[in-house]
Amino acid sequence: MYGKFENKYLTADNKDRAFVEANKLKTLWFNTGTLCNLTCKNCYIESSPKNDRLSYLSFEEFKKFVNESIQNEMGTIEIGFTGGEPFMNKDIFKMIKYSLDNGFKTLVLTNAMKPMMNNNKELFKLNHLNLTIRVSIDHYSKSKHEEVRGPLSWEPMIEGLKWLSDNKFNFALATRLMWNEDEKVTRKNFKNFIENYQLNLDAFSKSDLVTFAEMDEKKDTAEITTECWGILNKSPNEIMCSSSRMIVKKKGDKTPSVIACTLLPYSDEFTLGLNLKESMKKIYLNHPHCSKFCVLGGSSCS
């Protein structure tokens, strides 16, 4: 007998665990390193100014995976950068440029604070239709945002947002649904926020304001069996790991490795190898995040 999430192939009640087949690699994520200027509560990757469990990725390491995707015609449309804070990586502008020069839609997740603004001249030069900067904001009020992100985290973010808007970047907001508020109400309140700061965004557009279900690590969750797809009327092809992978460089490793998705950067079971081709294999949903966040919560990072 096994407990929950202990056996890769079977659930605790001895049913076949659900899996996701790899299709085309539509989105290739890069974790640029876990170091961050903030220490937010509930940061899913536990970033902070001290957490370097994922090292900074270099431009050459990044380029190798992009080239592999191009050479093997893996169907990649989009390249995403996440962290930590991606603008703390000294090679980030070279990486963004390479991604844009090769025709990829390019998405950078950032807190839009000093690391971005300190180098905004470099970023300005890269403004492009294919580039989107997505800024995390945990609430439309300063007090609740700072409750999660720490004191003095509001004004620098507002400054970054205004700069992106005034300089006509494609940009978006990402927020967590964690305040017991209906999503419609949240969007209405963000509409006021957007008007107040004169940002060029539509609070009712799902791409301008991306919302994420909150992940409570401690809360129990059901295991997903192969029967669940039919019961939930969901397809495994809707799940992030059917069409994306993330590159990380674990501290102490000589080379980066490929991870199933952005949500499980530290898990050995979800580490799939050293190149993209070998990583495109079946993923068994043997983690609470698979159930809570992807199948039952219905959110995705891209």
Collapsed DSSP state (helix, strand, coil) of residue 187? helix
User: Contact between 38 and ligand SF4 (CB under 6 A)?
Assistant: yes
Contact partners, residue 143, CB within 8 Å, separation at least 6: none
Is the Cβ of residue 181 or residue 269 nearer to ligand SF4 in the bound state?
A: 269
Q: Which one of residues 43, 95, 108, 157 is an interface residue with ligand SF4 (CB under 6 A)?
A: 43
Q: Using CB under 6 A as the criterion, what x/- string covers residues 132-171 for binding ligand SF4?
A: ----x-----------------------------------
Q: Closer CB to ligand SF4, residue 100 or residue 110?
A: 110
Closest CA to 225 of 10, 23, 20, 21: 10
DSSP for 46-105 reads --BSS--SBPPPPHHHHHHHHHHHHHTT----EEEEESS-GGGSTTHHHHHHHHHHTT-E
**Which residues have C-beta within 8 Å of that of residue 179, sequence separation ≥ 6?**
139, 144, 186
Q: Is residue 172 within the footprint of ligand SF4 (CB under 6 A)?
A: no
Contact residue for ligand SF4 among 54, 56, 85, 194 (CB under 6 A): 85
Q: Considering only 67-75, 96-104, 187-195, 287-295, which stretch makes contact with ligand SF4 by CB under 6 A? A: 287-295
Specify the residue for token string 């962290």.
83
Residues forming contacts to ligand SF4 in the complex (CB under 6 A) are 20, 36, 38-40, 43, 47, 83-85, 111, 136, 239-241, 260-261, 263-264, 270, 283, 285, 287, 289-290, 293-294
